[in-house]
A and B are shown apart, each in its own frame.
Chain A
Amino acid sequence: MSDLDDFKATYFDECSELLTELEEQFAVIEEGERGADRLNAVFRAIHSIKGGAGAFGFTALVGFAHAYETLLDYVRDGRIELTDDVVVLCIRANDIVADHVNAAQTGEALPADYGAEEKARFDALARGETASDSVEEDELDGEMVEEFDLDFTPVMVNLDAPKPTGEAPVEDVFDDAPMMAAEGQWEIRFTPHRALYARANDPLLLFRELAALGKMNVRAILSDVPPLSDFEPFGVYCTWEITLVAPGLGEDAIREVFEFVEGDCDIIIAQAGTVPGLVSDESEMAADVSAEAATDEPDLSSLLALTEEEVAAPVEPVVPPAAFAPEPPAAEIGPQDSFDEAPADLSFAALAAEIAPAPAPAPKVDKPAPVAASAPVAKPAVPTGGGESEEGTGRSVGVQSIRVDLDKVDRVVNMVGELVITQSMLTQQMDETLRARYTELVRGLEVLAQTTRGLQDSVMAIRAQPVKSVFSRMPRLARELATKTGKKIKLETIGENTEIDKTVIEQLSDPLTHMIRNSADHGIESPEKRLAAGKPESGTIRLSAEQAGGNILIIVEDDGAGINRERVLGLARDKGIVAPDITPTDEQIDQLIFAPGFSTAEAVSDISGRGVGMDVVLSNIKKIGGSVHVRSWPGRGTRMTLRLPLTLAVLDVMLVKVGGGPYVVPLSSIVETMQCSRAAFERVPSGGRVLQVRGEYVQVIDLAQRFELSSQQNPDDQFVVLCEAEGNQKVALVVDDIIGQQQVVIKSLEENFESVDGIAGGTILGDGNVALIVDVQGLRTSPIHQNAA
């Protein structure tokens, strides 16, 4: 039971990877690159998802994936042209598959007809393109979805069966036979190896693809079927010979059908027209067939004679139920057999001889038995799952990786974090006298410092992941938003290979979703408005990631209308977020969209500005030690910048003293430190203070005052830490003393408490005491909130 759960978990892991790959492939396909490789990758991904889904009995997913797969199959073999419409449909289908996977994972039920519309469109497409033999196709399609997987009992039933739809099989053979002599006639001998079945490939699929290329006749060669006593359950005893009449068809097209099983089978393809002997023999053979077919009974008996009566027994019962073989089985077996025995089976025999060393032929006569016995859906899919994963490993040759439980990595990361701190604590203990006396100890500490740094970097690299894993979910969101809002939205992503700590990435999904939704909802205008404003009809949302020093910047930018500051400010005043007597700057107004309480449910419907759950963005980002900044240009767009720490584990900080207690300021935000007198602080009308630093006035934040501590410092001898907040805005933090630089491990306050204004978290110092991390950005923007409170 728990094993199954493990498998399921692995399956869902794989699904999410495969879905990501689908997104990637379609991102390229959408741009016009429509190579066979792409389609094959897509096909493989869907096939793998379907396979596993079958194994776990996710029938809805199997059903949909199967229909989708069929469409892809048709697209791949060129029966359906990959037009833009089809691409859009496929992308939609990916989303539906994703939903199905998600539903299967969470156990939620989707509406029964979920995706039915798309499924119908697949069928319509398939039908439309194959109008010539639409009856047959319909028949096939109908069956494929429901029965194909379930009932396929790969008895050597010739595929002619489904084609003539059981009306007059024998005649059909007759009809085909003369035509075969015509040009464009191909002879194919297909000898699967055991590996082909082991990888869950299915000859029927291949035959069906072939059938789509032209008129086809398939014969199973049963001469290698051993007596039942020698029957090996997983043995492969059947070979097929296919005659395909398709004027103008190239060998490549046929090869392509077998592309996936190349190496797992022997294939001989010969053009009947080019080999004179073959054609005549073929027609002769056809005559034979007809002759034999006319006398089915003796034919059957000759088959039985050839094989063993026991074989015939298991074979026969399986045949009739097969959905695609309505005719009496004897009729089919007849012709194949006759072909086999036909003295004139030269060309194939000769050709086969060449590749004879390959073991092989013959069927899964065995397989059907167990299949039929067990649950119909699950059965064929089980091998599929296994087969695909093999394929998966085959693909990723070169990059070897293991799956490790994240908890284990985290434990290492935490320990390395503590180690780094212990190491820096040790280093601090070394004073000059000690240094002079114990040179060996000093050297040892230096090596230790280096090694710890290296260890830390390596461990961090283990957890680092490209932001792609989050970014790749966004195109879908943008599409859905475009549909919902009726706007045209283009999503561009840049720098998706930028790597960030996995824990940061996990926290990124929600904020990004909110930000993009916000941009689409409120930023991008309707097509008409955009055209009126002289902008391109479709709006662009650009999602980019880049590394800037010890930070990662994630920027969501749109070319929409910008923030409607009047309304935002009005609303903020109504809600008491901004006191009436305060006039915030434009920039401060922009930041208001992140204010808690601003973006309540009412706000969403009330304002044409922004504010869909944006405080979630702020709180999520703050939680991981990041900050958010928004900048808007009326009529031209909005840019939201997330500044995230590269890693959460260790932070370089400046240790300062405020009101007698230690506080730390992230080094990444510090520009410089200086010493100055309080007299240098100038007063501005709001009651705040500013300080002139090299010709620039910056806001002064007295930490002791803000934290309601009593400064123990002589006012004339104050230290100032000049920090840079978002948007290149500088702030001067007034502290009592500067102790020094250090590395710390960030600890969450929220784990056992709650977030505290102006504090980004806590950390544990070398002496075991807790020091608080100053939230520079939070301090800078909080006065507005405070005055309101």
Chain B
Amino acid sequence: MEALSLRDDMSDKTAVAGQNTLQLIAFSIGEQTYGVEITTVREIRAWNGATPLPNTREFVRGVINLRGTIVPIFDLRARFGDGQTSPTKNHVVVVMSVGDKWVGILVDAVSDILTVNRDDIHNVPEGNSIDTELLNGIVTHDSRMVGLIDLHAVVSGAKMDG
């Protein structure tokens, strides 16, 4: 069912995707949906464990072997301060490129590909610094809020003393 809706979106939206639009991969953590720009996504794979890294923050789940390269995995739920995810085989790692590095983000599920208008991106309400730090903006899709993840912010400060 999920896959079907995904394909539908692809077929009719890519055609109209113009300069002023943005395609997002949407994924969920609990009830909440977040998105990252589709061009940064390299690969989506099922959770298959990771080798924990000592002396790092709890949101660093460890490293995995991605075809011979070592890629760190960040637990997005833990990054948002909601405690570590207890991953199962159904959890998903979204591998993305941030600058010249590849990182994986552990999320509950990948839900959709969205096409949004750049003009429809709202600012993150001031108030909680975690929100403004980790989100680039907010868009509305199907009358639900989708937070745009700031990847650079998510992967920074991974070291214990950092």
Contacts and interface: CB of A to CB of B under 8 A. Distances in A.
Interface string B54-74: 111000001111001111100
A752 B70 contact: yes
A756 B68 contact: no
Nearest to A761: B70
A757 B49 CA distance: 22
A754 B69 contact: no
A770 B54 contact: no
A708 interface: yes
A751 B101 CA distance: 7
A637 interface: no
Contacts of B18: none
Given A661-B51, A770-B65, A756 B56 contact: yes
Nearest to B52: A661
A368 interface: no
A762 B71 CA distance: 10
B68 A752 contact: no
A758 interface: yes
Contacts of B69: 747, 751-752
Contacts of A754: 158-159
A754 B69 CA distance: 14
Interface residues of A, number: 26
A706 B54 CA distance: 8
A769 B51 contact: yes
Contacts of A662: 51
B161 interface: yes
Given A768-B65, A769-B65, A770-B65, A708 B70 contact: no
B55 A769 contact: no
A711 to B, nearest CB: 13
Interface string A382-423: 000000000000000000000000000000000000100000
Assign chain B's interface to a size class.
20 to 34
B63 A753 contact: yes
B139 interface: no
Nearest to A753: B72
Residue with the greatest number of chain B CB neighbours at <10 A, chosen from A747, A754, A770: A770
A770 B70 contact: yes
Contact of A418 (B68, B101, B159): B68
B25 interface: no
B6 interface: no
A751 B70 contact: yes
Interface in B109-128: none
A764 interface: yes
A757 B63 contact: no
Nearest to B63: A770
A772 B103 contact: no
A436 interface: no
A756 B101 contact: no
B53 interface: yes
Considering residues A752, A762, A770, which has the most beta carbons from chain B within 10 angstroms of its beta carbon? A752
B102 interface: yes
B68 A764 contact: yes
Contacts of B158: 753-754
Contact of A770 (B51, B102, B159, B160): B51
B75 to A, nearest CB: 14
B101 A769 contact: no
A708 B53 CA distance: 10
Contacts of A771: 51
Contacts of B161: 789
A752 B54 contact: no
A320 B55 CA distance: 80
Interface in A696-711: 706-709
Nearest to A765: B65
A152 B101 CA distance: 56
Nearest to A417: B68
A165 interface: no
Interface in A670-723: 706-709
A759 interface: yes
Contact of B55 (A418, A708, A747): A708
Contacts of B71: 752-753
Nearest to B72: A753
Contacts of A418: 68
Given A770-B64, A789-B161, A752 B52 contact: no
Given A752-B101, A754-B159, A762-B63, A772 B53 contact: yes
B68 A759 contact: no
A768 B67 CA distance: 9
Nearest to A660: B52
A56 B71 CA distance: 44
B111 to A, nearest CB: 26
B53 A759 contact: yes
A762 B54 contact: no
A747 B70 CA distance: 7
Contacts of B102: 752
A748 B55 contact: no
A706 B160 CA distance: 13
A748 B70 contact: yes
A662 B65 CA distance: 14
Interface string B98-110: 0001110000000
B93 to A, nearest CB: 13
Contacts of A764: 65, 68, 70
A559 to B, nearest CB: 38
A612 to B, nearest CB: 24
Contacts of A756: 53-56, 159
Contacts of B101: 751-753
B8 to A, nearest CB: 34
Interface of A: 418, 661-662, 706-709, 747-749, 751-754, 756-759, 762, 764, 768-772, 789
Interface of B: 49-56, 62-65, 68-72, 101-103, 158-161
27 contacts: A418-B68, A661-B52, A707-B55, A708-B54, A748-B70, A752-B69, A752-B71, A753-B63, A753-B71, A753-B158, A754-B158, A756-B55, A756-B56, A756-B159, A757-B54, A757-B55, A758-B55, A759-B55, A764-B68, A764-B70, A769-B65, A770-B63, A770-B64, A770-B70, A771-B51, A772-B63, A789-B160
Give me the 10 closest cross-chain CB pairs, A-B, nearest first.
Answer: A707-B54, A753-B72, A770-B51, A752-B101, A762-B70, A789-B161, A764-B65, A747-B70, A757-B55, A770-B63
